[in-house]
Structure 1
Amino acid sequence: MSRVRITLRRAGAVTALTAAGLLAAAGAASAHVTVHPESYAKGATDGLLTFRVPNEEDTASTAKVQVFLPTDHPVLGVLVSPQDGWTPKVTTTKLKTPVKTDDGTITDAVSEITWTGGKIAAGQYEDFNVAFGQLPDNTDQLTFKALQTYSDGKTVRWIEAAASGDEEPENPAPVLKLTANGTDEGASSTTPLPATSKSSTGTKTTASSSDSTARGLGIAGLVVGVLGLGAAGFALARGRSGGTPAE
């Protein structure tokens, strides 16, 4: 076997392995419980939060989802959307610091929502919609800790927060950024409800894919770069051999 053929095969193998590794990394990074949209304006009213829960297990299905809402900066007027196959349970807590609104003083707020009775199978995800009346205007972000329980009894705790400048933790909690009025990803104060559609796996999904699109474009660019390196190796091999690769 000629040296040129060996060089080309090695370059092809490196390209394939690198591309596969990048795609695998993208899949792992997207398999977290997340909240959509990623940001809202401070004090936004009459909007919707969608908690996306992917199933990460190959041999078990997700049977229970718990989302904990902050009470130090409470979300007011929470309503849970009906979800096929799932039964929601809403828990309220008395606030340490009541919130004054135009409609009066709020002393209680939702602190936990638990969904049971449904199933998210391997390779699927489910969107859980939560409507709100008003977001707080005195903080820059809201952290929604979440617990994901599987049919085999395993519970994944999505509760870790990344410190500024640190890498993303293994089990990050969903975080909603709160921006100055008019600078968020959606509307300045009121964001329309996203349209509901069916995913290829049959689970109900809600449109909010800007983060997935950006991640996909980034990975595609890296893969193209790797393929370019492979092509450069091929050209170098041709130059050394003075013609086409030997058989």
Structure 2
Amino acid sequence: MNRTRVAACSVVTFATAAAALALAAPAQAHVSVDPAEAEQGGYTTIDVRVPNESDTASTVSLELHLDPEFPLASVRPQAVPGWEVEVETAELETPIENHGNQITEAPSVVRWTGGEIEPGMFQQFPLSLGPLPEDTEHLVLRAVQTYDDGEVARWIEPPAEDGTEPEQDPAPVLHLTPAAGAEDVAAAEDGADGDGTNGDGGESAAASHGDGDDAATDTTARVLAGVGIAVGVAGVAFGVLAGRRRTTPPTAS
């Protein structure tokens, strides 16, 4: 390959890489949460990650709007040097319970002000949340980011039903998964309500047959094990005799 072809290939490769980076950058340069996954019904601590997208202005305010459809009894921000934080609450149309107490109002907005995220920088705001809802797979946390030049970025668009992130103005999302052991418990309950038991709670014929099959399988396994041991002993004995035949010197005639 001559120098002209090498140079041409280099230009094409560089252009392709630059285009890929240009396409990937907007998808990452928005407000997000880390970690992005937590267990349903539990508590978690997340970092609200806020990158500054402007080349000339600084971020001076962030509002995180909690989903009113899934109210959280506890929302506790961690102090961040240089920033002031406040948590607004709102009355609930339907009260919720937390540790035996009825909750009639819950946090609705968390607001950070007074600090500054300069161009090319980012800031993380720790936040404790819980208990997390058990009847949804996505907790949408809409964010409003304000710059010192008056520009406002609204990260408020929820994901699609399959969890796909929207192309424009995606909202931070905390993906919720079943708690450890929850799927096993559900499977066990489904089995108990299925064909495994009769209406009186006793074992069904299928279960009885299953016990018989287990016993037959156990007997067969023992027989095969005995046969295997016998064959092994015979093999060892044969090997010893064969060795003696090879090592015994011939007698003089």
Note the alpha carbon deviations across 1:21-50, whole angstroms, 9 max, x for none: 2233333221110011111111013x2121
1:59 is aligned to 56
> In the aligned structure 2, how far is the partner of 1:31 from the partner of 1:152?
19
CA-based RMSD: 1.8
> In the aligned structure 2, how far is the partner of 1:52 from the partner of 1:147?
13
SS at match of 2:94: strand
Q: How many residues of Structure 1 are paired with residues of Structure 2 in the alignment? A: 180
> In the aligned structure 2, how far is the partner of 1:8 from the partner of 1:164?
47
> In the aligned structure 1, how far is the partner of 2:47 from the partner of 2:53?
19
SS at match of 2:49: strand
| 1:167–1:107 CA distance, 2 compared to 1 (3 A) | closer
SS at match of 1:78: strand
2:68 counterpart (71, 76, 86)? 71
1:119 is matched by which residue type in structure 2?
Answer: E
1:182 is aligned to 180
2:157 counterpart (160, 169, 184)? 160
1:101 is matched by which residue type in structure 2?
Answer: N
1:52 is matched by which residue type in structure 2?
Answer: R
Q: In proportion to residue count, which structure has more helix? A: 2
* TM-score, normalised with respect to structure 2: 0.67
1:124 is aligned to 121
Q: Which runs of 5+ in 1 are unaligned?
A: 184-247
Once structures 1 and 2 are overlaid, which stretch shifts more, 165-174 or 54-63?
165-174
1:97 is aligned to 94
Q: Percent identity?
A: 39
Higher RCO (CA 8 Å, separation ≥ 6 residues): 1
Q: Which runs of 5+ in 2 are unaligned?
A: 182-253
> In the aligned structure 1, how far is the partner of 2:123 from the partner of 2:45?
16
- Extract structure 1 runs of 4+ deviating beyond 3 A: 164-167
2:40 is aligned to 42
* TM-score, normalised with respect to structure 1: 0.68
| 1:66–1:105 CA distance, 2 compared to 1 (3 A) | same
1:13 is aligned to 11
> In the aligned structure 2, how far is the partner of 1:54 from the partner of 1:131?
20
